[in-house]
Amino acid sequence: MHYRPLGRTGIQVSRYCLGTMMFGKLANADHDACIGMVHKALDFGINFVDTADAYSQGDSEIIVGKALKGRRDAVVLATKAALPMGDGPNQRGMSRRWITQAVEGSLQRLQTDYIDLYQIHRMSPDTDVEETLSVLTDLMRAGKIRAFGASTVPASDIVEAQWTAERRGLARFRTEQPPYSILNRSIEREVLPTCQRYGMGVMAWSPLAKGMLTGKYRKGEPQPDSLRAKFFPQAMSDEASLSAVEQLVPVAEGAGISLMHMALAFVLSHPALTAAIIGPRTMEQLDGLLAGADVVLSDDILDRIDEIVPPGVDVAPLERAAYVPPSLAQRSLRRLAIVERSAA
């Protein structure tokens, strides 16, 4: 396993990060099986594990905590907060009130005294970023977290957070965790260059485009009976994505590798990338992912991929997952008030 610097934190992490969204009642409720996957990944050389409080409402963190007993100090442990953890209006978000409570919950479930990388799962437009940076800075100074970052943040918000930290004398976001794959390349336009400018580590989630790049989803063939097809039916049957896959398969075959391994190696070929997050649900899936750990793509293969999916282009939007600006997501921000419209 090869290791890369996590931005400018001084921390070295494996270029594969074990993602645990599939651990717990959402996908794999067998704790022992999931613990076995964590141990196999660690034995393989992976030292980077990513989870979140919202994954199976804390069950994933509980599994990870069990799995790391006796091995905690050898692992760079990352988790996230901000997504809903209850029905209450304040059981989510980026406020000092919630983050202070959420980190204690994660520490307890993970059975650890500290979190190496604490991430804001999604930014909240109704919370001043200074409020969030302030509480994260305090948690770092208290020794409860070692560094902090965010996930799926547009370039403009990354810049605002960096400037706010500098002006207010606060610690800053050290990492970003965006979606990135052959089929979803829009972050190459602004997000990745911005992260490079500020020396931020980048961990790509969904490097296999929700499984579309595993080779199991093919044009004109029945969809496999999978959780991905159940949760993301539109994304997994998107015609543009399936057409791109049909063009990518012969490129991988010509290189003597699987489409899945080519997709992972593609993500890791970008100089801004620190790690690709792999998210197995079963031991069989983990074995398949680990088999491609040493694959490196030639310039010729990368050029062929660019011809099929040009740099900076999203073939299809990530269904129900990627960042949507409030200006688009909130109807009230796209409409004038009724009174004003009537007056016009």
Name all domains of the chain by residue range, CATH numbers in brackets.
3-343 (3.20.20.100)
Backbone angles phi, psi at 148, to 5 degrees: -140, 160
Neighbours of 46 (CB within 10 A): 25
State the DSSP H helix or E strand holding residue 77, giving kind and residue range, or none if neither: strand 76-81
Annotation says 180 is catalytic: no
- pLDDT by 10s per residue, the chain, length 344: 899 999 999 999 999 999 999 999 989 999 999 999 999 999 999 999 999 999 999 999 999 999 999 999 999 999 999 999 999 999 999 999 999 999 999 999 999 999 999 999 999 888 999 999 999 999 999 999 999 999 999 999 999 999 999 999 999 999 999 999 999 999 999 999 999 999 999 999 999 998 899 988 787 777 776 666 666 666 767 889 999 999 999 999 999 999 999 999 999 999 999 999 999 999 999 999 999 999 999 999 999 999 999 999 999 776 556 667 777 777 887 787 655 555 55
Of the CA atoms within 13 Å of residue 287, those in its CB half-sphere come to 4
Whether residue 200 contacts residue 185, with contact meaning beta carbons closer than 8 Å, is answered with no
CA distance 38 to 53: 17
Distance of CA 76 to the CA centre of its chain: 15
Single pTM value for the model: 0.91
Marked catalytic residue, from 16, 55, 118, 180 = 55
